[in-house]
Amino acid sequence: MIPVTLTVDPAFRVGPVRRRTFGSFVEHLGRCVYTGIHDPAHPTADADGFRKDVIELTRELAVSTVRYPGGNFVSGYRWEDGVGPVGQRPSRLDLAWHSTEPNTVGLDEFMRWADLADVEPMMAVNLGTRGVQEAVDLLEYCNVPGGTAFSDLRRANGHADPYKVRMWCLGNEMDGPWQIGSKTAYEYGRLAAETGRAMRMVDKDIELVACGSSGVVMPTFGEWERIVLTEAYEQVDLISAHAYYWEEDGDLGSFLASATDMDHFVEAVTATADSVRAHKKVDKRIHISFDEWNVWYQKRAESRPPSGDDWPVAPVLLEDRYNVADAVVVGNLLISLLRHTDRVHSASLAQLVNVIAPIMTEPGGRIWKQTTFHPFAQASRYASGDVLRVAIDSPTYETKQYGDADLVDAVATWDEETGSLTLFAVNRSTTEPVLLDIDLRSVPGLRLLEASTLSNPDHTWTATADDDTSVAPHANATAQVRDGRLQVEVPPVSWNVVRLGR
């Protein structure tokens, strides 16, 4: 068994745990909305057609925010299509995913669902085919109490109180050549600045997210962020980061070290934002909204949209089935997000239901949890107080993609008010168990509350509607606290949570 030493100390504080780190994403894509959150024929459906079993699992997942309605979809979306009497709403071609959008679910329905699921809505505006005026109109509909055309339209549609949406994304992935209305950095930066300025004239308290580059592998990465922030720095609060390119392609060791790549991504965007800050000579800092992230197997058949004359409603798209190794990587990516809580102020796991999602449904039928459900639910439920950087003394191993990586990665949270400490750790070894020896002497008097491990001798095990429980976090009986040290044995390819308190 490989020994690894970790040191936990409240002096290693990074910043507060941010509830918005545990956000998710609902896009009009595939079966995320239709037969996902909305399925009127389902036995659990409420009067609005929302599946209560999905709402229950969303609550169990402890999702904080949900980004809506896209994603690529938003760059061609006319929000007015999704309000008013459902029978009078138009069907439209969705160019982003080569589908038909019936607009059965729109803004008001989503807001009702968000209230039922106890999540904060994070709205995106269309800056692909639309611009300043349409964004201001949407904000007026959502946030103005009444007395104007769009606020009174909301009231006429049965919603007297404003929605008071705080977080707004200024478009989506506008540097991507796949994006409807994609733009150069200068074009987008000016449009984001103008849109943000006008939106703040309506509601000064909103928080605005500018589009960062669509990914670190994009040729625009870095320079895009610099130009966009040079143009829009004064009007925005955060810049987005998106990453999906982590997948297991026969190189399990590199895949398990994917979080090192997220670390580099965050640090690069932070450095760029701070360089613009220095150039502008201002005190304000721009933080990161990592509002699309996940493991995604993009080369699989289910990731290819329909084509030709086929424009179906809610086709099967991006329905990846996740295994144990995928769950360990998702847990490690959460560790990375927490470790950067000083600069990552919001994040969204993409997506919530059916589309590269932790929750899967059958139309009119069963629901189940993917393996990736568990690390997200545990991190969201148990991370509280302050994030602590963990000093790790671990052997390294060589990866083809990321160079040398620690065999173990970990982060901790410390809630001084409740006296609770939680350690989140992954073992990236593909073959060897590890003995974690954690020095807790700087936080005396802690006792073990719970230790759990998610692993399986077969790291390719995948949950199904027939079995989503035989491989799940289970009690780790090896954990013990003695003389200010915690020891616990963790198997290879594993996600581990240890909770302590006074």
Residues that are catalytic: 173, 292
Whether omega for the bond prior to residue 378 falls within 30 degrees of 0, making it cis, is no
Neighbours of 162 (CB within 10 A): 17
DSSP 431-471: S--EEEEEE-TTSTT-EEEEEEEE--SSTT-B--SS-SSSS
CA proximity to 62, closest of 374, 360, 449: 374
Q: Alpha carbon of 207 to those of 75, 271, 275, 430: distances in Å?
A: 20, 21, 22, 42
What does residue 480 show for φ and ψ, rounded to 5 degrees?
-155, 145
Which neighbouring-strand residues pair with 323? 462
Distance separating alpha carbons of residues 259 and 8, to the nearest angstrom: 20
Which neighbouring-strand residues pair with 108? none
Distance separating alpha carbons of residues 491 and 427, to the nearest angstrom: 7
* Residue 177 one-letter amino acid: P
Q: Write out the two tokens for 387.
A: 């994030």
HSE (side-chain half, CA atoms, 13 Å) at 189: 16
Distance separating alpha carbons of residues 340 and 309, to the nearest angstrom: 46
